């Protein structure tokens, strides 16, 4: 009897090796290589074309038409997806356990089913009775919503062929398996093969498919990294389980802009949209307190006003601490070094704690000025003007650099009743300023401090 051939596959990145190694040479992770049987599979039906042997076509001769997107009753979700659900798309949703992924998808399927389109919800983790209990709590009661509890990919494919739904949800991809692959569900081979089969179904039948992905303890989607490369759209569901607000963030989208963000609030009846997130992030803001500033940050195409809080206190140990929540922790010591060298604020023996209020994460350079002024305000013990919004990137020489989409940021600040916006001076060229708000251009961080901090 022929000996079965095995290989070792990294569950993090998909790297294959003929022998076991303690450390993956590709992703540098320890103890991630798992042994799997090598099965020779037929490639006859793996192509996305209708028949094998298709000939190349000139791109100018290919006829295209704008396919109508499937609109849900959630404008926030439609915007994150780029305008709605695209027929034939494969969408991956990841998030922490209990964050609300299944709740969101059950609400989406009910909304689309209410429009007369059959929708198939496949759960590999819950029975149909458990899904029904959640549906009763969310008031989901459409006759066109079909529920199936199954993990075998062959049966799932047969049910999709028989029902021919307008939308399919797989909850979750780590529980689905193919009989031809001998490894356990959730392994690299199973996730790769099942996702490839779902992609073939989506593209050939023009059925949009949503798949749920588990996440690791670091927050990344579990399984091989190629899972995110194979799908058309990757959405991350973020938020604290002990808080009611949830953020749906798009990190990849072949049919729309990336880095879009939608905000929802979890209630007893399910997820509800937050149409004006700036008011939510600023509703508990304390005015007249040192260390508090407001910045207009861009999340995709939407400007959002959030509060930056800083606390500077003398250190009790030999080495000062630098801690940050909601922004890159390396940005805090960098901005403190600029304040010390260019402004003359001696903060070598000061602990620094910086936080973005509301639990949102900011990663664009336009928040530098607000963070730096917040740190300087707390260090001096003097409050900033509560009606100011600060926007700008801070360079290592203390200059304030230009940022993008400045008009949208100013309009958002004006809408919420702020009186002044401090921006880079170079952004003033050709800028249309509303009459009800004052816009001040600054060239250096010293100028911004003189204007914003109340002496």
How far apart (Å, rounded) are the C-alpha atoms in residues 411 and 302? 11
Can you give the pLDDT at residue 51?
46
What pLDDT digit, counting tens, does each position of 373-382 carry?
Answer: 999 999 999 9
Our measurement of the distance from residue 263's CA atom to the centroid of its chain's CA atoms, rounded to an integer in Å, reads 11
Q: Is 358 part of any known ligand binding site?
A: no
Position 233 pLDDT exceeds 90: yes
Q: Cβ(122)–Cβ(148) under 8 Å?
A: yes
**Model confidence, pTM:** 0.77
**Environment class of 40 (CB within 10 Å of its CB; exposed 0-12, middle 13-18, buried 19+):** exposed
Sign of the CA dihedral with 420 first, then 423, 425, and 429 last: negative
What average pLDDT score do residues 106-122 get? Answer: 94
Residue 77: its pLDDT value, please?
Answer: 92
pLDDT at 43 over 70: no
Say if residue 95 carries a ligand binding annotation: yes
Look at the block and give the residue holding tokens 């059959």. 118
Q: Is 139 annotated as a binding residue?
A: no
What the block records as the tokens of 208 is 């949009």
3-state class (DSSP) for residue 443: coil
Residues forming a β-bridge with 422: 390, 440
Q: Give 141: exposed, middle or buried? Use CB within 10 Å, 0-12, 13-18, 19+.
A: exposed
Mutual angle of helices 188-205 and 153-163, in 10-degree steps: 10
| pLDDT class of 277 with cuts at 50, 70, 90 | confident
pLDDT above 50 for 45: no
Q: Is 97 annotated as contributing to ligand binding?
A: yes
Thinking of the domain 72-275, which architecture would CATH place it in?
A: 3-Layer(aba) Sandwich (3.40)
Mean pLDDT of the region 274-284 = 84
What single string gives the DSSP state of each residue in 258-319?
A: SS-EEEEEEETTEEEE-S-HHHHHHTTPPTT-TTEEEEEEEETTEEEEEEEEEEEEE-SSSS
Q: Delimit the domains of the chain by residue range.
A: 6-37, 72-275, 280-452
256 is in an annotated binding site: no
Question: What CATH fold (topology level) applies to the domain 280-452?
Answer: Ribosomal Protein S5; domain 2 (3.30.230)
Confidence band for 240, pLDDT divided at 50, 70 and 90: low
Cα 246 vs. chain centroid, distance in angstroms?
11
In this predicted structure, what is the pLDDT of residue 171?
92
Residue 395 annotated as part of some ligand binding site: no
Listing from the earlier edge strand, what are the strands of the sheet with 350-356? Answer: 292-299, 302-314, 350-356, 322-325
Report the alpha-carbon distance of residue 382 to residue 29 in Å, rounded.
47
**179-222 tens-digit pLDDT:** 888 778 887 788 888 999 999 999 999 999 999 998 876 667 76
Burial class (CB in 10 A: 0-12, 13-18, 19+), 18: exposed
- The pLDDT assigned to 111 comes to 94
Nearest to 102, CA basis, from 186, 191, 155, 169:
169
**Mean pLDDT rounded to a whole number for the chain:** 88
Q: What is the DSSP letter of 369?
A: H
Condensed to tens digits (0 to 9), the pLDDT of residues 377-425 reads: 999 999 999 999 999 999 999 999 999 999 999 999 999 999 999 999 9
């Amino acid at each position: 009897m022929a000996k079965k051939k095995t290989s070792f596959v990294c569950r993090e990145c998909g790297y294959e090796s003929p022998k076991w190694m303690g450390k993956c040479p590709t992703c540098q992770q320890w103890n991630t290589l798992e042994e799997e049987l090598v099965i020779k599979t037929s490639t006859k039906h793996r192509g996305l074309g209708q028949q094998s042997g298709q000939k190349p076509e000139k791109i100018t001769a290919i006829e295209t038409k704008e396919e109508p997107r499937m609109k849900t009753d959630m404008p926030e979700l439609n915007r994150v997806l780029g305008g709605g659900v695209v027929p034939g798309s494969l969408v991956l949703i990841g998030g922490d356990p209990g964050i609300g992924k299944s709740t969101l998808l059950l609400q989406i399927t009910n909304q689309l089913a209410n429009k007369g389109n059959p929708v198939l919800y496949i759960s590999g983790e819950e029975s149909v009775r458990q899904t029904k209990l959640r549906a009763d709590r969310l008031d989901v009661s459409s006759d066109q919503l079909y529920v199936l509890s199954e993990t075998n990919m062959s049966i799932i494919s047969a049910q999709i062929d028989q029902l021919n739904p307008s939308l399919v949800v797989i909850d979750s991809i780590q529980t689905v398996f193919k009989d031809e692959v001998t490894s356990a569900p959730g392994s690299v081979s199973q996730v790769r093969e099942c996702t490839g089969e779902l992609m073939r179904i989506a593209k050939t039948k023009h059925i949009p498919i949503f798949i749920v992905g588990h996440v690791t303890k670091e927050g990344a989607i579990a399984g091989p990294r190629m899972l995110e490369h194979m799908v058309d759209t990757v959405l991350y569901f973020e938020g604290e389980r002990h808080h009611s607000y949830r953020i749906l963030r798009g990190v990849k989208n072949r049919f729309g802009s990336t880095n879009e963000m939608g905000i929802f609030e979890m209630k007893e009846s399910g997820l509800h949209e937050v149409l004006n997130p700036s008011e939510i992030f600023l509703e508990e803001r304390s005015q007249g307190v040192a260390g508090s500033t407001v910045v207009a940050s861009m999340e995709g195409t939407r400007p959002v006003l959030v509060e930056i809080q800083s606390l500077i206190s003398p250190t009790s140990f030999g080495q000062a601490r630098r801690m940050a929540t909601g922004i890159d922790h390396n940005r805090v010591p960098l901005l403190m070094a600029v304040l010390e060298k260019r402004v003359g604020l001696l903060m070598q023996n000061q602990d620094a704690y910086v936080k973005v209020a509301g639990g949102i994460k900011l990663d664009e350079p336009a928040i530098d000025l607000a963070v730096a002024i917040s740190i300087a305000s707390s260090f001096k013990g003097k409050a900033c003007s509560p009606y100011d919004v600060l926007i700008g990137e801070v360079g290592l020489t203390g200059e304030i650099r230009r940022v993008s989409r400045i008009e949208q940021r100013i309009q958002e600040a004006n809408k919420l009743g702020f009186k002044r916006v401090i921006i880079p001076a170079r952004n003033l060229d050709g800028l249309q300023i509303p009459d009800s708000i004052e816009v001040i251009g600054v060239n250096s961080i010293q100028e911004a401090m003189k204007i914003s901090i109340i002496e």
